[in-house]
Amino acid sequence: MRSTKLLPFAFTLALAFAQPSLATPLASGVPGMLFDHDVPITMTDGLQLRVNIYRPEKPGRYPVLMLMGPYGKDTSLADAPAYKTSWTKLIAKYPDLCKKSSCRYIRFEAPDPERWVANGYIVIHADVRGAGASPGVLDPFSTRETEDYATLITWAAHQPWSSGKVGLFGTSYQAINQYQVAALQPEGLAAILPWEGAYDQYREIAYYGGILNVAWEYWWTHQVVPNQNGNAETSLVDSINGGKDTGAPLSPEVLKQNRVDPIEAFAKHPFDDTYYRRRTPEGSRITVPLLDVANWTDWSTEGFRSAASKQKWLRIQTGDHLTPFYSDEALALQKRFFDHFLKGVNNGWEKEPRVAVQVRRPAGTTWRSAAAWPLPGTQWQRYYLDAANGSMDPALGTAAPAEKSYPGLGDGLTFTSAPFTEETEFTGPIGIRLWVSSSTSDMDIFAAVRLIDPQGRDVTFMGNSDPNVPLGLGYLRASHRAVDPARSTEYIPFHPHLTSEPMTPGQLYPVDVEFTNPTSIVISKGYRLALTIQGKDFGYGPGANIVRAKDYDLPNSSNSGLFFAAHPNRDPALYGGADTLATGGEHTSYLLLPRISARR
CATH number of the domain bearing residue 157: 3.40.50
Domain count, the chain: 2
pLDDT (tens digit, 9 = 90+) per residue, 140-180?
Answer: 999 999 999 999 999 999 999 999 999 999 999 999 999 99
Whether 110 and 231 map to the same domain: the answer is yes
Single residue among 269, 289, 305 that ends a domain in this structure:
269
Between 234 and 243, the more confident residue is: 234
pLDDT at 109 over 60: yes
Single residue among 269, 289, 308 that ends a domain in this structure:
269
CB neighbourhood size of 144 (10 A): 17
Whether 264 and 391 map to the same domain: the answer is no
pLDDT (tens digit, 9 = 90+) per residue, 378-429?
Answer: 999 999 999 999 999 999 999 999 999 999 999 999 999 999 999 999 999 9
The answer for residues whose C-beta is within 8 angstroms of residue 174's C-beta and 6 or more apart is 67, 68, 69, 109, 110, 168, 197
Domain that holds residue 158: 9-192+213-269
Q: What is the CATH number of the domain that holds 453?
A: 2.60.120.260
For residue 180, give the nearest of 164, 166, 197 by alpha carbon.
197
235 band by pLDDT with thresholds 50, 70 and 90: confident
Between 492 and 319, the more confident residue is: 492
562 band by pLDDT with thresholds 50, 70 and 90: low
pLDDT at 17 over 60: no
**79 within domain boundaries:** yes
DSSP tally for the chain: helices H, then strands E: 12, 28
**364 within domain boundaries:** no
Average pLDDT over residues 479-499: 96
- So what's the pLDDT on residue 460? 92
pLDDT at 24 over 80: no
Q: What is the mean pLDDT of the chain?
A: 91
Average pLDDT over residues 257-284: 96
Whether 96 and 237 map to the same domain: the answer is yes
- So what's the pLDDT on residue 23? 63
- So what's the pLDDT on residue 547? 79
For residue 266, give the nearest of 224, 204, 321 by alpha carbon.
204
Residues of the chain above pLDDT 70, percent: 92
69 band by pLDDT with thresholds 50, 70 and 90: very high
The answer for residues whose C-beta is within 8 angstroms of residue 180's C-beta and 6 or more apart is 141, 146, 149, 279, 281
- Amino acid identity at 518: P
- So what's the pLDDT on residue 558? 52
How far is 17 from 2, CA to CA, in rounded Å? 30
- So what's the pLDDT on residue 11? 44
Residue 318 burial (C-beta neighbours within 10 Å; 0-12, 13-18, 19+): buried
**264 within domain boundaries:** yes
- So what's the pLDDT on residue 78? 84
Whether 237 and 386 map to the same domain: the answer is no
Between 18 and 130, the more confident residue is: 130
- So what's the pLDDT on residue 89? 86
- So what's the pLDDT on residue 551? 37
Whether 265 and 409 map to the same domain: the answer is no
Average pLDDT over residues 208-219: 90
pLDDT (tens digit, 9 = 90+) per residue, 351-374?
Answer: 999 999 999 999 889 999 999 999
**288 within domain boundaries:** no
Picking from 1-10, 183-192, 442-451, 588-597, which range would have the lowest pLDDT averaged per residue? 1-10
Picking from 128-142, 507-521, 539-553, which range would have the lowest pLDDT averaged per residue? 539-553
How far is 491 from 215, CA to CA, in rounded Å? 27
**202 within domain boundaries:** no
Average pLDDT over residues 512-519: 93
Strand partners, 209: none
**434 within domain boundaries:** yes
**341 within domain boundaries:** no
- So what's the pLDDT on residue 568? 60
pLDDT at 9 over 70: no
Task: Go through 195-206 and write b for each residue having 16 or more CB atoms within 10 A of its CB, e for each that does not.
Answer: bbbbbbbbbbbb
Whether 401 and 259 map to the same domain: the answer is no
**283 within domain boundaries:** no
Whether 384 and 265 map to the same domain: the answer is no
- So what's the pLDDT on residue 245? 83
CB neighbourhood size of 288 (10 A): 21
Average pLDDT over residues 474-495: 96
The answer for residues whose C-beta is within 8 angstroms of residue 46's C-beta and 6 or more apart is none
